[in-house]
Amino acid sequence: MSTYVLTVKARPWLLTAVEEALSGLPPSANNDLSKSIRNLRAQNGRPITDDELLLAYSALCDLKILEKEGSRYTLNRDRLSATTQWRLGVQAAINVLKENGVDEKESLSLCVSLPPALSPAVEHVIRESSTDLRSSLLDVVASAKQSLIIASPFWDAGTTAEMVTLAGKKLAYGVHVSILGRFSRDLPANVRSQLVKISHSPNCAVMSWIEGVGFDTETFHFKAISADRGQRAYLGSANMTVSSLRSRMELGVILSGNTALQLDRILRVVLAIAKPVSFA
């Protein structure tokens, strides 16, 4: 339930629109949500993007309202109905806290990715204390309105393609995007072919930091994301690879407040000493 609550806090308008759309679907649409919900708008008329819809789906999976099978989402109408009052209560409570100025100035939430073969009991215990790591990363990326930094030593083609797609959407809206990796040595062709898609944008910087060899190597090992100069941030163990985000146990934290601001400052110092990647 923590993923749902965090999504309501970050985007109170998002789940309201998606839940209303789900309630209005005909029975025949239960097993094909990818085609059933299109061109959604929030109450203020703002279009809901595909990545925001993905965040909403993840939050509703947290409540078992949706079930994910591969790339398909199926709707549990009984669960949607049974949780109506609880969901309205969560939204009302968060609104009251915000109206009375009770909001987190500094917050930290734990997120985790898990191997798919874990027993249901083990997974349940871990999920009770954390949110899904991949969904949490996407949420930080989606929140960026002015600037976005994504830093990871290692990238693979699948995750690079996903992040390039999200970054491309942000660049289209004028967001400044910086991507940092260990890209200087033997950059795989399938990773390079993805990064080059956004590298020519004047608001995009693809950077690498790895100098020297052996014990004299200077580089980085942290994995971090910062949106809007530290308004929200992520710091954790997961590389930008499919194995880290989908099939291994990795831990991270989502930050806001002063700690997120400090992390953003550190990331910008590292970017200042990193070198641009040449795609010529």
What pLDDT is recorded for position 55? 82
Is the predicted pLDDT of residue 102 greater than 60, yes or no?
A: no
Identity at 149, one-letter amino acid code: I
Is the predicted pLDDT of residue 103 greater than 60, yes or no?
A: no
What pLDDT is recorded for position 237? 93
Q: Which of 34-43, 58-67, 173-182 has the lowest mean pLDDT?
A: 34-43
Instruction: Point out which residues pair with 28 in neighbouring strands.
Output: none
- Confidence class for position 132, pLDDT limits 50, 70, 90: confident
Range with the largest mean pLDDT of 60-64, 108-112, 151-155: 151-155
Radius of gyration of the chain (CA): 20
Nearby residues of 11 by Cβ (< 8 Å), 6 or more positions away: 52, 55
Percent of the chain with pLDDT over 70: 90
What pLDDT is recorded for position 262? 92
Residue 234's nearest CA partner among 95, 125, 133, 87 is 133
Rounded CA-CA distance 234/67 in Å is: 26
- Confidence class for position 25, pLDDT limits 50, 70, 90: confident
What pLDDT is recorded for position 106? 58
- pTM of the predicted model, to two decimals? 0.66
